[in-house]
Structure 1
Amino acid sequence: MRIPGPEPRADGGVGAVAAAGGLHIYQLRLHAEYGPVVRFQLPGAETAVSVADPVLLEATAHIDKRPERLFEFLAPLCEAGNLQVLPADEHTPWRRLLLSVLAGRPSHERHFARFTTLTTEVADRWAERAGRGPVEPQKDLTALSLRMICAYALGGDVEDPDRIVTAFEEVLTEYLGRLYRAPGAERGDNTEGAEEALAHLRAVVDRVVAARRAGRRVDRSDLVGALVDAGERPARIRDTVMMTMLAAHHTTGVAVSWTLHLLGRHPEVAERVAEELDRVLGDLAAPGYADLRRLTYLEMVLKEAMRLYPPGPYGARETTEALVLGEYEIPAGATVFYPFWAVHMNADYWPEPEKFVPERFTPEEVAKRPRLAYVPFGLGPRGCEGAGLAMVEAELVLAVLLKRFRFRPVPGHEVTPIERFVLWAADDIRMFVSPRVSG
């Protein structure tokens, strides 16, 4: 049976995506009109199919190939081959190594105190801002997220971490700008600056690698230490650090920002979170690592926020053989899109999906849904290696901020989700903060 979808357009689908406001919204509209499996046009993907049903997604979960053309914009950031599209035989051991560091509880615990200090510094700045105007959570929390992943990847002994953050932001602005720049638009004038910033970042990694190899520090709880210990070559280490920072630095910041946005509009939920924090933490201003597992309602709130605003709104794989999805056959070489936002808004599995209902994530409710009904970090062998770390960071940041402040949206400020590698708020999420008295 022919897969349903819009008629082909002379522009290859560019106009339809642009008119919708981005691929993330276009996918929502496609699935609303054509159903759970949709064929559509996209430059760089001769046959593009989007799948928004979690049961049908199971048939694609084994695919371990990404479409190279969709990720070629990242190639200039890599010296030893684009890590986003490594062939499976190279990707599997690399992923296993990353998981040993990013998903390991010992390394989470080791870095937790540093993460708490960084978060408290942001909270202190916001306390000074209270009563003098709104804060911009997205801006401040993505910077915090970058500082966290920098400490995690490079260890805590790098010189001038602020310069590292600035350099990475220069690189990110330039290279992601190329991806989202309109066709035919002129290039920005910061290419030289971005290349200098990239060279600086690589030099920092080289110094950390040299220190590890000289035996001045042996520690597998940071990423570089683990890569050195595994015998990875310098170029691959530099590439891995860059890709890890790229993938991780926005995730926690935007997830927490969207959560605060929702809590500002649902004060009754925010109050219940505050009550849990007071009960679990008492007079403590921040949780310990072991406290996180006791903050069950906070975790439910975060998960529901990531359902409504998944940090990455979609993913993509390339079929290596023909694939059957229900009544449809997908040919080999097709690009299969995982429209995470559309999956999370599928009313068959999420009644009244547009509503903010943290209770969807009680154990009883979770058990009623298919495994892939909730995929904020992707799925299969190319799913996010840092999912566990991102949850630890986000829960810590939320706990510190919500223990200390109440959040109120700025009246009249429009919050519009756009796709900029992650699901981003076009003009930040401006909020007023005020101190709360616990107990």
Structure 2
Amino acid sequence: MRGDGGTPSHIPGPAADNDGAEAIAAAGGLHDYQLELHAEYGPVVRFPLPGAGVAVSVADPVLLEATAKIDKRPEKLFEFLAPLQEAGNLQTIPAAEHGPWRRTMLSVLAGRPSHEAHFAQFTALTTELADRWAAAAGPVVLQRDLSELSLRMICRYALGSGLDDAESAGRVVSSFETVLTEYMAQPGPASAQAQEALAHLRATVDQVLAAHRDGGGAADRADLIAALAASGESPARIRDTVLMTMLAAHHTTGVAISWTLYLLARHPETAGRVTEELDRVLGDRATPDYGDLRNLTRLDMALKEAMRLYPPGPYGAREATEDVVLGAYTVPAGTTIFYPFRAVHLNPEYWPDPRVFDPDRFTAEASAGRPRLAYIPFGIGPRSCEGATLAMVEAELVLAVLLKRFQFDLAPGQTVTPIERFVLWAADDIRMNVAPRQSTI
């Protein structure tokens, strides 16, 4: 038996007599609404999702395995990205096109040569931010400053040879911020300023691409545009791919870092163990080398635990391409399957005391007894984030530099409330007092 939207009516959930927007707003956002739904109805819930009709949300990692190979996103949910792309919406292109594009992206984004080639630039940008914080007269604003840093890092990564000076780099950053504000956050047609900003970004990518093609030669697997240029993709597809990479990376890495610093400030004993490890691995060096990251296990576990509690992207979605069996339920083809990352991460069956910050959950021993999809901050399957490995390198580098240099304390008188703003943001940001930290060595 099937209910509204082609979903099975016997899956538990609230009435689907509207698009669900009012219930989501009343809960404080979609991520909180998902927590409420799964607490009331169980691991599989049918619910009205704006833009998708009736969707099925799955918060059990074992049941999620049945969806892990789906290579299709619901087109209507990603229509908002279409104005930024000229060669077809990269978030929803068919699997036959998506597979080769993804393999090309992973050959760079997931590779050590790419990370090592850009590590010095990332370190310099992080040190510049740390210097500004050291000179600040009052509390620093974490998510604002760290999101700007993550944008500068991905701009350098994606457009390095097109950012030859501070002025050109600054214009790219400001143009991207304008595009984000107008195209992503405001309904209706974009302003002339936003259209000009998007045109500038596309022209910058075109200039970098032309330089690579004029130079000829084999693809450089440390350089994203060079690899894309060698793939035979059209200039428009390459341009869209670079801009979507920048879009995906902006905010997310900076937000993950900020939540980690917030949690460490609230748990000084855990922070002490992380900084003791930093002092032992780095000695008197202010910044790590790329090879040092593999020895920063305490920092890695703290970052992963922060992303469990506050996943930067709090949810994802797929469209079933055939009937999917989820335990006792069969979800028909064409149904939107919703991934509530935060509800999965707070599932008490796999995460005892799920709201407690405990990085030791990510020791090798603890992780070995847990289903692989119990932790999915970057999504799952063939549409998961291609930049996951790069994001972890960036985040661990930034955390290492900042925690080696500063003691972080929450500024008094603030309430930190997570809300959705494309990523899981703090409603009024997070303000920290920073002070020089004395080494434990």
Secondary structure at the aligned position of 2:215 is classed as: coil
Q: CA deviation at 1:294?
A: 0.3
- Name the counterpart of 1:145: 150
Secondary structure at the aligned position of 1:38 is classed as: strand
Secondary structure at the aligned position of 2:48 is classed as: strand
Rounded Cα–Cα distance in structure 2 between residues aligned with 1:56 and 1:87: 25
Secondary structure at the aligned position of 2:325 is classed as: strand
Q: CA deviation at 1:415?
A: 1.1
Q: CA deviation at 1:20?
A: 0.9
Match of 2:159 among 134, 154, 163: 154
- Name the counterpart of 1:124: 131
Q: CA deviation at 1:22?
A: 1.1
**Aligned residue identity for 1:317:** R
- Name the counterpart of 1:63: 70
Q: How does 1:400-411 map to 2 (within 5 A)?
A: 400-411=401-412
- Name the counterpart of 1:184: none
**Aligned residue identity for 1:239:** D
Q: How does 1:205-244 map to 2 (within 5 A)?
A: 205-215=205-215, 219-244=220-245
Q: CA deviation at 1:342?
A: 0.1
Decide which moves more: 144-153 or 219-228: 219-228
Q: CA deviation at 1:121?
A: 0.4
- Name the counterpart of 2:34: 27
Q: CA deviation at 1:216?
A: 7.8
- Name the counterpart of 2:334: 333
Secondary structure at the aligned position of 1:84 is classed as: coil
- Name the counterpart of 1:12: 19
* C-alpha distance 79-141 of structure 1, shift in aligned 2 (>3 A): same
**Aligned residue identity for 1:193:** Q
2:99 counterpart of 1:102: no
Q: How does 1:309-388 map to 2 (within 5 A)?
A: 309-388=310-389
Rounded Cα–Cα distance in structure 2 between residues aligned with 1:221 and 1:234: 19
Rounded Cα–Cα distance in structure 2 between residues aligned with 1:7 and 1:53: 22
| Identity rate, percent | 71
Q: CA deviation at 1:191?
A: 1.8
The question of whether the paired residues in 1 share the 8 Å contact of 2:107 and 2:221 is answered with no
Rounded Cα–Cα distance in structure 2 between residues aligned with 1:22 and 1:284: 43
Rounded Cα–Cα distance in structure 1 between residues aligned with 2:125 and 2:196: 27
Rounded Cα–Cα distance in structure 1 between residues aligned with 2:174 and 2:140: 20
Which stretches in structure 1 are left out of the alignment for 5+ residues? 182-186
- Name the counterpart of 2:422: 421
TM-score by length of 2: 0.95
Q: CA deviation at 1:56?
A: 0.1
The question of whether the paired residues in 2 share the 8 Å contact of 1:304 and 1:358 is answered with yes
Q: CA deviation at 1:43?
A: 2.2
2:268 counterpart of 1:260: no
Q: CA deviation at 1:193?
A: 1.1
- Name the counterpart of 1:177: 185
The question of whether the paired residues in 1 share the 8 Å contact of 2:85 and 2:240 is answered with yes
- Name the counterpart of 1:167: 175
Decide which moves more: 325-334 or 222-231: 222-231
Rounded Cα–Cα distance in structure 1 between residues aligned with 2:161 and 2:361: 38
Q: CA deviation at 1:157?
A: 4.7
2:119 counterpart of 1:112: yes
Match of 1:40 among 43, 47, 70: 47
The question of whether the paired residues in 1 share the 8 Å contact of 2:113 and 2:221 is answered with no
Q: CA deviation at 1:168?
A: 0.3
Rounded Cα–Cα distance in structure 2 between residues aligned with 1:102 and 1:15: 39
Rounded Cα–Cα distance in structure 1 between residues aligned with 2:253 and 2:368: 26
